[in-house]
Amino acid sequence: MDVPVARDLGSDLAWPAGGVSRVPFRLFSDPEIYAEEQKRLFRGPIWNFLCLETEIPNPGDWRLATVGEVPVVVTRDEHGTIHAMVNRCAHKGALVCLQDRGNAKALTCVYHSWSYDLAGQLQSVAFRHGLRGKGGMPEDFEPSQHRLEPLRVETFCGLVFGTFSDATVPVEDFLGATHAKMIRRNLGRPLRLLGMHSQIIHNNWKLYAENVRDSYHATLLHTFYTTFKVNRLDMDGGMLLSDDGRHSISYAKRGTLQQADEYRQVHSAQYDSALAAPQLLDSWPEFEDGITHCIQTVFPTLVVQLTLNSLAVRFYTPRGLDRTELFWIYLGYQDDDEQQTRMRTMQGNLTGAAGLVSLEDGCINEFVQRGTRGSEDRNAFLEMGGRDVASSDGSRATETGIRGFWQGYRELMGL
C-alpha cells in the first residue's frame, strides 16, 4: 500500500540543527504528528510484531493484535498457514473478532453475520438473496470481491510479523545479519509461554522506544542492576546497531566485571546490602559467548530480552498520544527442566510491572512527558557517546541507540 503524503510535515516541523542528537519535545505531544505516524510509520515499509506463533498453535486459533492503533486479527488456517487482517468488517466496519483469543472455523461479524474464512476472504452474507424473494443484495454483488484487509505476514524464530506495505523487505533483511543472529540465539528453539501481563504507561510510545535503547540510563536509574552486579557498564559489553541504526542490541558479560571508580559517585551504587534471599539471582550459563544480559530492540515496537536466564518478549503499542500499553511475555524453552523453569520464574522478579530492575521505567517516561509540557519548541540533548549513529562495541555509556531510532523515524516520517 502506498503511504499517503497528506502534507509536508517537514516544512511545519523543522528538525533542529544537530541532526539526531537533538529531538524536538513536540514529537511526544503533537496530535498531528501522532496521526501521521499511524499512516507513514505503522503502515510504512516496516515489520510490525503481531504475536508469537506459540500463541496460535492449532488450526483455527486466532489472536488479536494492533499495528499502531489499527486492530488486527492473526489466524492460523486449516493448513497451518498464518494470516493477519485488519479486524474490521468489510461491510460496516465493526470489529469482527471480539475476544482476545479464540478458535473458530470461520470469523463472523456479529453485526450482520458476514462470515469470513480464516484467510479473511468473505464466504457468505446473511440474507444475500433477501427473504421470500424480497430484499437482498443487488444481482451483481460478488462475495469474492470483499475481504478483511490483509497484511503481509512473515514469521521468524516464532515471532509473527505483519506489514501493510508491499515495499517491506523480508524480515531477515529488515533485521540485518547481526540482529537476525541474536534473535536466532535467543528464540531459535521451540518456546514455552511462562506468563504474561501488561502495563499502561502514561507517555507517548516513542519515549519507551528511546528508553529501551538507552544503555546510558540502565545502570543509573535501575539501582538494583548495579548493586547486585546484574548489569553494569564496567562489564565487557556494547551497543550493536543494525546498519540502518533502527535496531539495537545492548549486551553485557557479567563474568568480566572490573569495578570502575566512576560508580562510587552515582546513587545507584550506594545501595550495598546483600540479599536475604540470594536465590533470586540463581542462574546458569546458557550460552557459550559469555553474554549474560541482552536487550535487543526491533524497530519500531519490539524488544527481546535475555537477562541472566529471564527470557521475554516485550512490545509496546500506542493507546493514544500520551498512553502506551507495554506487554511482557515471559518465555522458556520447551526442553527446559523443572529447575530451569524455576530459575526463570524467580528471575521474572527482575522485570515487568513490578520488576526490581525495571519498575522505574513505568514512571520515568511519564516524567519526561510531564516535564516537557509547555516546552514543545525545545529539544532533548543526546550527545552521550558522540553525535553519530554507529555501533559502540566496548562501551554502553552512549545514546547511539536512541539516535539510531530517530534516524529511522525521520526516514519514514519524512522529517
Q: Which residue lies nearer to other proteins by CB, 113 or 270?
A: 270
* Least Å from the CB of residue 343 to other proteins: 11
Q: Does 360 bind other proteins (CB under 8 A)?
A: yes
Q: Does 266 bind other proteins (CB under 8 A)?
A: no
Stretch that binds other proteins, among 83-91, 146-154, 204-212, 342-350 (CB under 8 A): 342-350
Q: Does 340 bind other proteins (CB under 8 A)?
A: no
Single-letter amino acid, residue 328: W
Stretch that binds other proteins, among 28-36, 90-98, 353-361, 383-391 (CB under 8 A): 353-361
CA 155 to chain centre: 15
* Least Å from the CB of residue 413 to other proteins: 28
Q: Does 341 bind other proteins (CB under 8 A)?
A: yes
Q: Which residue lies nearer to other proteins by CB, 199 or 248?
A: 199
Assign residue 103 a region (left: φ > 0; alpha: ψ between -120 and 50; beta: otherwise): beta
Site for other proteins in 213-232 (CB under 8 A): 221, 223-224, 227
Q: Which residue lies nearer to other proteins by CB, 221 or 249?
A: 221
**With contact defined as beta carbons under 8 Å apart, do 27 and 45 qualify?**
no
Q: Does 69 bind other proteins (CB under 8 A)?
A: no
DSSP letters of 108-143?
E-TTT--EE-TTSBEEE-TTTT-BTTBS-S-TT--G
Compute the C-alpha angle 382/411/362, nearest 5°.
50
**With contact defined as beta carbons under 8 Å apart, do 208 and 316 qualify?**
yes
Residue in 127, 141, 271, 381 binding other proteins, rule: CB under 8 A: 271
Cα dist. 156→41, 174, 364 in Å? 21, 11, 32
Site track 286-325 with other proteins (rule: CB under 8 A), x = hit: ---------------------------------------x
* Least Å from the CB of residue 72 to other proteins: 18
Residue 180 to residue 186: CA distance in whole angstroms: 10
Residue 347 to residue 230: CA distance in whole angstroms: 11
* Least Å from the CB of residue 225 to other proteins: 10
Q: Does 276 bind other proteins (CB under 8 A)?
A: yes
* Least Å from the CB of residue 276 to other proteins: 4
Q: Does 273 bind other proteins (CB under 8 A)?
A: yes
Helix (H, G, I), strand (E, B) or coil at 191: strand
Burial of 50 (0-12, 13-18, 19+ CB in 10 A): buried
Residue 73 to residue 303: CA distance in whole angstroms: 21
* Least Å from the CB of residue 155 to other proteins: 22
Residue in 346, 402, 412, 415 binding other proteins, rule: CB under 8 A: 346
Cα dist. 72→67, 174, 264, 316 in Å? 7, 21, 49, 15
Which residues here bind other proteins, judged by CB under 8 A?
193-202, 221, 223-224, 227, 268, 271, 273, 275-277, 279-280, 325, 330, 341, 344-346, 348-349, 352-354, 356, 359-360, 362-364, 366
